[in-house]
């Protein structure tokens, strides 16, 4: 999907997260297979690879907030986007702390799971849940704001509503419940009420978030391309190649306000002709001039 769909920032994060998850799974399972050999039965030494493996798990798991931050930054203004970016990056620090604490416990004990390790997972997932919740609320706010000022009846924001709203909310719900179940089922507070096994379905879903987000992004891109083609049949003055170029650029992180302008009928402002590719004011100026020209031609 990466090589066929694009190489923008969003797809690069997806690619490296997938690679990190693949390496983490290989290293973890290879280590378990090695230490479970009959010849290693009495060997209770430290297992360094469990600690090293946390580098890959950290990269893979925290990529979800980073992906949502990338979406959010294309919607927010520069100042707000920078503030939210620093908040998300700050929350990476406690996540790294909990992940490497998990790695240390595994390294010293020589196995993967016990009550303490599971509760640490809960705190780590809770950190991700907070980060994703911040991104989700920001994205929902800015998408609705953009939809209110859209120049076209069929915009990128409408496509986002169809898919990403559901995905964003599902990700937050899964991470929240996984955190709660892992913490309360393993620290003795509600272990009789909440069995540890209840977290397993949520863990399975979280393990596949990268694949889910990649498919969602792929469907989003091709849905936009298809809608652009359909729109062109009703508006021959606006070229398919020009619109697809703008839409693909938007899927790689351009300001959706710019992309929405590219979708407006009769508007032929080219993103490539602007000095700053995300300069919405410059694009809007071009839009106003072109709109005036079209109005004069039709009078």
What percent of the chain is modeled with pLDDT above 70?
62
Q: Is 118 part of a structural domain of the chain?
A: yes
Q: Is 75 part of a structural domain of the chain?
A: yes
Q: Is 206 part of a structural domain of the chain?
A: yes
Q: Is 288 part of a structural domain of the chain?
A: no
Domain, as residue range, for 101 = 2-234
In the prediction, which pLDDT does 267 show? 34
Question: Rounded to two decimals, what is the model's pTM?
Answer: 0.69
pLDDT, averaged across the chain: 73
User: pLDDT tens digits for 255-276?
Assistant: 444 444 444 433 334 333 333 3
- More confident: 296 or 275: 296
* Phi-psi label, residue 105: left if phi above 0, alpha if psi -120 to 50, beta otherwise: alpha
The answer on pLDDT for 14 being more than 70 is yes
In the prediction, which pLDDT does 226 show? 54
The answer on pLDDT for 23 being more than 90 is yes
User: pLDDT tens digits for 104-124?
Assistant: 999 999 899 888 898 899 899
Q: Is 253 part of a structural domain of the chain?
A: no
When divided into structural domains, the chain yields a total of 1
* Maximum mean pLDDT: which of 120-129, 130-139, 159-168: 120-129
Lowest mean pLDDT among 53-62, 138-147, 211-220, 226-235: 226-235
Lowest mean pLDDT among 176-190, 253-267, 279-293: 253-267
Q: Is 277 part of a structural domain of the chain?
A: no
In the prediction, which pLDDT does 50 show? 95
The answer on pLDDT for 241 being more than 60 is no
Q: Is 140 part of a structural domain of the chain?
A: yes
CB count in 10 Å sphere of residue 297: 8
User: pLDDT tens digits for 202-217?
Assistant: 888 888 888 888 887 7
Q: Is 84 part of a structural domain of the chain?
A: yes
């Amino acid at each position: 999907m990466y090589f066929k769909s694009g190489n923008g920032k969003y797809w690069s994060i997806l690619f490296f997260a997938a690679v990190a998850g693949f390496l983490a799974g290989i290293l973890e399972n290879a280590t378990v297979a090695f230490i479970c050999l009959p010849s290693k039965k009495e060997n209770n030494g430290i297992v360094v690879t469990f600690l090293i493996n946390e580098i890959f798990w950290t990269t893979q798991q925290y990529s979800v907030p980073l992906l949502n931050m990338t979406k959010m930054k294309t919607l927010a203004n520069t100042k707000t986007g920078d503030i939210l970016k620093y908040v998300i990056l700050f929350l990476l620090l406690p996540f790294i702390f909990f992940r490497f604490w998990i790695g240390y416990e595994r390294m010293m004990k020589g196995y993967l799971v016990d009550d303490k390790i599971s509760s640490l997972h809960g705190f780590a997932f809770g950190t991700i849940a907070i980060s994703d919740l911040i991104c989700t609320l920001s994205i929902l706010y800015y998408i609705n704001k953009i939809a209110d000022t859209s120049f076209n009846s069929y915009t990128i924001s409408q496509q986002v509503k169809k898919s990403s709203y559901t995905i964003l909310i599902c990700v937050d719900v899964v991470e929240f419940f996984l955190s709660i179940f892992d913490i309360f089922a393993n620290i003795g507070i509600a272990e009789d009420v909440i069995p540890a096994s209840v977290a397993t379905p949520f863990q399975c879903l979280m393990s596949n978030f990268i694949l889910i987000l990649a498919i969602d992004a792929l469907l989003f891109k091709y849905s936009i391309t298809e809608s652009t083609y359909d729109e062109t049949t009703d508006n021959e003055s606006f070229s398919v190649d020009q619109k697809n170029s703008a839409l693909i650029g938007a899927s790689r992180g351009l300001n959706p306000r710019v992309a929405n302008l590219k979708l407006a009928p009769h508007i032929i402002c080219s993103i490539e002709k602007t000095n700053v590719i995300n300069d919405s004011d410059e694009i809007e100026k071009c839009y106003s001039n072109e709109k005036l020209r079209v109005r004069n031609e039709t009078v």
